[in-house]
Structure 1
């Protein structure tokens, strides 16, 4: 696999399709220095992007949350995604829509006079956690915590929120883990570095309350699948002392889809029947 900057294909950039290798930005783009950027990760199945409009709506909402109004409508973003898929001849793909403050008159913390740019790219991408969908992913426990919503708009899918996620995942991979679980600023279980987390105990599901991290679209979809099956779902604060009492665990996210977890640190979980059922139900739904 070549680097992401050296591929054939087309990327939608600021209203037009450009050659993949020609989708360039200036080194003095504000986002490169101050993380003034928001993004969406989406998957297409059989030519249809799952929950596409919800992702486009969230992209615009994220821009608003970090005081970066995106000058494209939901309909225009939807059209751009369709154009990229067609131009690259893709059916099953990962789609990345993202907006950022570009280079302009401002080059300090303030960036109000700099243009907001938008791009959409798509490529083929397999399972995010490799073979973990069958045997269960092994997670480390991160030293970094999700911050208080009083310090940053945690409901936005903003680039700056992912710096500690990258650091946590690098540390986990260096120790042989697939990912890391993070606690929040209060010490409650929060999420993995790029996926929400669910636990099973005695046939009931428990998942952290998303009051300081992203309430993922896949997370919401899976909760809906569980409730359709009359499986109790408890959205609540989960203390670290509870981890040893859970029997099953899985992660959810656009990239992760539904991925079982086999270990979190020293805690072990079975890849049980409910985990498999929900993973299969999600797969069926997104390909319907």
Structure 2
């Protein structure tokens, strides 16, 4: 499937009903369009099964609650909606996007308590998020934007509004010929890429930023568990920018990114080493188990 995302064949699950792709629309005065009152999930279906699908459904509801929204569907009902969408489109391998938002209603201002919370589930067939980077390593820019303090945003929510600076950072990176950008946090510590968590290797041990002001990704948690099962020491800690030159390997994790090696961040270079390759291969086996 190709073409603009609003002009495709297929079905999208929307508020309890499967609708034709081109008919899945919202009104221009939808609250989320004006005030970013929406949360979403990105998931991958492998060989007919969504990896950690129920965990994603639970997180979607948690994200909504953090934005003072109550999704009118249980996690189990969201699971069923995702399965119905995949079956309707005949997909066994696909990316799945569930999104909840405040719709149009009686309120049109910052407050929107009287507006309905709506839910939709779409999907598409999607290959490697970073193209051929899985073989040679992605090239990352360093963003001028920083992940904000959890005192200023609900950093544990996968909320659409929190990705505004990610979009700008990725656009700037692509203009420089990079695949993505690494971001620091409000304190100056290494944080994450625009849509993926980051890991480093030094002397056979793994270091990853402490997820205290950005999303603790489900793929991140999965990979940390894998590393511990491999008896590899994992340090979840604050990482200073000047440490980047001492790391030997680097990779990104995320539902879209899966496990993607990094070859360069700014002026710092990394090898696509054996541990990186092993983690990527083992993750691929795990999601298809």
- Range class of TM-score, shorter chain: over 0.9
The structure 1 segments of at least 4 consecutive aligned residues displaced by more than 6 Å after TM superposition are none
Distance in 1, matches of 2:161 and 2:24, equals: 22
Provide the residue aligned with 1:218 in structure 2: 219
- Structure 1 segment 23-38 matched on structure 2, within 5 A: 23-38=24-39
Which residue pairs with 2:12 in the alignment?
Answer: 11
Which residue is equivalent to 1:141? Answer: 142
Q: Does 1:189 align with 2:190?
A: yes
Q: Distance between the aligned counterparts of 2:192 and 2:43, measured in 1?
A: 19
Residue 66 of structure 1 is matched in structure 2 by 67
Render the CA deviation track for 1:212-266: whole Å, top value 9, x for unaligned: 0000000000000000000000000000010000000000000000000000000
Residue in 1 aligned with 2:237? 236
Distance 1:179 1:119 in 2: 28
Q: Which residue of 1 aligns with 2:90?
A: 89
C-alpha RMSD over aligned residues: 0.3
Q: Secondary structure at the match of 1:24?
A: coil
The superposition leaves residues 155-180 of structure 1 with CA deviations (integer Å, 9 ceiling, x where unpaired) of 00000100000000000001110000
Question: Which SS does the other structure have where 1:87 is aligned?
Answer: helix
SS in 1 for 2:97: strand
1:98 and 1:24 mapped to 2: Cα distance? 13
SS of structure 2 residue aligned to 1:190: strand
- Residue 100 in structure 1 maps to residue 101 in structure 2: yes
Per-residue deviation, 1:106: 0.7
What is the deviation of 1:122?
1.1
Partner of residue 170, structure 1: 171
Alpha-carbon shift at residue 191 of structure 1 (Å): 0.1
Cross-structure match for 2:279: 278
- Cα deviation for residue 149 of structure 1 reads 0.1
Q: Secondary structure at the match of 1:100?
A: strand
Aligned to 1:21: 22
TM-score w.r.t. structure 2 length? Answer: 0.99
Structure-2 residue corresponding to 1:199: 200
Q: Which runs of 5+ in 2 are unaligned?
A: none
Normalised by the length of structure 1, the TM-score is 1.00
How many residues align structurally? 288
SS of equivalent to 1:219: helix
Q: Secondary structure at the match of 1:279?
A: helix
CA deviation profile, 1:164-210 (whole Å, cap 9, x unmatched): 00000000001110000000000000000000000000000000000
The CA distance in 1 between the partners of 2:112 and 2:171, in whole Å, is 31
Gaps of 5+ in 1: none
Instruction: Report the counterpart of residue 260 of structure 2 in structure 1.
Output: 259
